[in-house]
Structure 1
Amino acid sequence: MAQSLSDTIANIRQYAVEGREIQEEQMDLDASGTEARLEKTIRELQQRVDEQEAALAESNTDLNAIAFASEDPRKKLKQLLAVTTAYKNLTSTTPYLPNKNKKESVLPALLAARNIRQTVNGTKDAIASTEEKIKRTESQLRVEEANLQDAHAITKAMKNRIERLRTHQIDRSAKTPAQLAKELIQAKRAQQETYDAKIEELTGAMNDFLNDHLSAMIAAEELGGPVVGDMVDPGEGELAAGFTRTGKTKSTKKMPSDSKRQKTIDQIWGSGKTVGDDEPMTEAEAAHDELRTLIEDLFLTLTGPGGGKAYHQLERDSAASRFLVRAKIAQFHPKNAKQMRLIDFGRELDD
């Protein structure tokens, strides 16, 4: 056992010495004789091929016969034995290399060049693959960093919220029920005042919009003109002249008399409509008054005892009511088009 271990160590050392000598030996790559050496190597390889073909011819072996297994069991067994014997002989035989121990052959240089090129190509593929992986990793890293920042922000906000709630809870626990009730009433009053101011502001903006733009367009639709939005800001003269059956403005060269104009307003919006100093309303003013009154009635119905489910009874089918439905502000009763209500955006559209 000791002798076998000593022999193994000696072989390893001998292999290392030979490898170092081969590594230190300079390979002769003289370009002037490369072609001649290459031709010589090819001749040697061709000579070796010829020798193998001659040996095969002398053996009188039928290649077609041995290429396929015979149906006869005995012949098939002989074929398997021959193949096994040939395999064992070839595995124990050193591969043939022409002039492997001579510097004249260029085969070692060719094999080395092939290995170097394979190594270079493999390195290039590995570099490209690594660069792609680096890009994907960097992209994923940026996403993770963004997620981490969001998590930090959420954590900070939650901590601040918890701290405020804790402080609020401490303050509440230090106060009497009477003080808490008083503060709650004050907060509700302040909130109500804020809501009232906002309602007043929105109401003024709505009245301005109705007076400046929407009332004239609703009056035009009521008089037989285009629907709201198709004719922007019709003038008082166009409203006074009226519209044709096709919805186009009549000529303003011959304006109707005041009595005829007032009669038309009375027929559509009702008689007795006046503004300051008992002056008769214009078409736009009448439409403005009707729309504003309709919105107020719908709002009162929404906030009334019906709990948002009650409907307002319309006196007639008007351009104002149709506009509110088209604008998704109100909706008709599904079974009665003369009843409508405002849409409660805090609830479902359907009951």
Structure 2
Amino acid sequence: MAQQQDRAIEKIRAYSKDAHELRDDPMELDASNTETRLAQTVRELQARVKEQQAVLETLQAQSNVDIESAAYASADPRQKLRQLLAVKDAYKRLTPIAPFLPEEGSVLPALLAARTLNQNVQGTKVAISSTQSKIANTDAILRREEANLNDANLLTQAMENRIERLRVQQEDRSQKTPAQLARELITAKRAQKDGYDAATQALGEAMNDFINDYLAAMIAAEELGGPVVGEMLNVEDDTLAAGFTKQGRAKSTKKTVSDKTRQRRIDQIWGNKAPIEEDEEPPTEAEAADAEMRQLIENLFATLIGPGGGKAYYQLDRDSAATRFLVRAKIAQFHPKDAKKLRLIDFGRELDD
């Protein structure tokens, strides 16, 4: 069996070698009399066509049969039988006759071979293009399936690791008493609470720094008729002291505004929250807005953790820039039917209950 395979392989290799040699060898073509041979072949074909046309005309003249009606099978069974017999007799007569072949030296076989080769080449090109498209689609599908397989392997590995951890935890718990498990749970909860308290403190300090350094001045500018919070990022105390025009533009800071005028304006907008000692300086506009924002956030938090929970609203004293900022920032929301009621958004629930 192995010897037969070896012989077959040797024959294939020999055939491949011969085919490569034939392909590499230049075609022997005598171009000296090509035009003469083509003209001779054309004349032979034309003579053959005329000969066949003459025979056909002779047959038509000698026969009384209608060619068009004889070309189709008759509906009459007897007539149809006669047609079949005639066709049979024609095949018997034509079978012994040798077919027409071109003369020796004719280029007709070469032309026919060239036409066949051209058709084969065009078909091969179309097949190559179609095969390349199929290969590209198959490669894309293969890459997608490989990516899916990789994801599935990662998920499987993650699930196996998770199962192993749970198994180890289960074995560890099964070896401990309920009292030990309770102590460990309490310790874990305390550590979690300490982490939450530290994160809350850090976030609170960051919020206080943001309000003190940036937000308070922008809220004060909006309260004084200036741009909305966020449109003017760097608001100086001198700009707040000078105020804003009706168009929301900052007034000139060349004219000094008296402290009494500023204090009266602050009391009119933010109210007199606490008495001022003689040795204390009156609060600036930014400080007043800072105090209002902190108090508002504190009241909203108290309402959130109060008896009503996330459904309770805080009753506002007035519509302020601080309130509008919290709503625009989607930190708080108004009551659907009362714009003087506000509450913090409980991010653990839907926006609207």
User: How far apart are the structure 2 equivalents of 1:62 and 1:50?
Assistant: 20
Give the structure 1 partner of residue 109 of structure 2: 108
**Superposed counterparts of 1:187-198, under 5 Å:** 187-198=188-199
**Displacement of 1:310:** 0.5
Q: What residue number does 1:250 align with?
A: 251
The superposition leaves residues 205-262 of structure 1 with CA deviations (integer Å, 9 ceiling, x where unpaired) of 1111111111001001111212111222211011111122222222222222111111
Q: Name the SS for the 2:317 alignment partner.
A: coil
Cα distance in 1 between the residues matched to 2:53 and 2:262: 122
2:187 alignment counterpart? 186
Unaligned 5+ segments in structure 2 are 1-26
TM-score computed with the length of structure 1 as normaliser: 0.81
Is contact 2:303–2:343 with CA below 8 Å preserved after alignment? yes
Structure 2 CA distance for partners of 1:193 and 1:54, relative to 1, 3 Å? same
Coordinate RMSD, CA, aligned: 3.1
Could you tell me whether the CA contact under 8 Å between 2:331 and 2:344 is conserved in 1? yes
The separation in 2 between residues aligned to 1:324 and 1:63, in whole angstroms, is 108
Q: Contact conserved, 2:243 with 2:250, CA < 8 A, in 1?
A: yes
| Cα shift at 1:195 | 0.6
TM-score by length of 2: 0.81
Call closer, same or farther: CA 1:38–1:91 in 2, change over 3 Å.
farther
Paired residue type of 2:285: E
Q: Residue 226 of structure 1 contacts residue 247 of structure 1 at CA under 8 Å; is this kept in 2? A: yes
* Deviation for aligned residue 1:339: 0.9
Distance 1:97 1:169 in 2: 94
Name the amino acid aligned to 2:157: K
1:300 to 296, 299, 302: 302
Give the AA of the match of 1:38. Answer: L
Counting only pairs closer than 5 Å after superposition, residues 189-208 of structure 1 correspond to structure 2 as 189-208=190-209
Does the 8 A contact of 1:343 with 1:349 survive in 2? yes
Amino acid at match of 2:161: N
For 1:249 and 1:112, the matched residues in 2 are separated by 93
Aligned-residue offset at 1:201: 0.4
In structure 1, what residue type is equivalent to 2:302? Answer: L
Aligned to 1:7: none
Q: Among 339, 345, 348, which residue is 1:346 paired with?
A: 348
Partner of residue 21, structure 2: none
Alpha-carbon distance, 1:169 to partner: 0.9
C-alpha separation in 1, matches of 2:300 and 2:272: 23
1:113 and 1:43 mapped to 2: Cα distance? 20
Q: Is the 2:70–2:83 Cα contact (8 Å) retained in structure 1?
A: no
- Give the percent of matched residue pairs that are identical in Structure 1 and Structure 2: 60
* CA–CA distance in structure 2, aligned partners of residues 311 and 66 of structure 1: 103
Post-superposition Cα deviations, 1:171-212, rounded to whole Å, max 9, x if no partner, equal: 111111111111111111111111111011011111111111
Residue in structure 2 matching 1:279, options 275, 278, 281 = 281
The answer to whether the 8 A contact 1:241-1:256 is kept is: yes
Contact kept in structure 1, 2:217 and 2:236, CA below 8 Å: yes
Q: Deviations over 1:112-134 (max 9, x none)?
A: 22222222222222222222222
Shift of the 202–74 alpha-carbon distance from structure 1 to 2, 3 Å rule, reads closer
Shifted more, 86-95 versus 42-51: the winner is: 86-95
Counterpart in the other structure of 1:171? 172
**CA-to-aligned-CA distance 1:148-175 (integer Å, 9 cap, x gap):** 2211111111110000011111111111
Q: In structure 2, what is the Cα distance between the partners aligned to 1:92 and 1:199? A: 110
Matched residues in 2 for 1:88 and 1:261: separation? 127
- Between stretches 242-251 and 335-344, larger displacement belongs to 242-251
Structure 1 unpaired stretches of 5+: 1-26
Is the CA contact 1:273–1:280 (under 8 Å) kept in the aligned structure 2?
no
Deviates more, 1:108-117 or 1:57-66: 57-66
Report the secondary structure of 1:150's partner residue.
Answer: helix
Distance 1:235 1:78, change over 3 A: same
- Alignment-derived partner of residue 118 in structure 2: 117
1:40/1:338 CA distance change after superposition, 3 Å: same
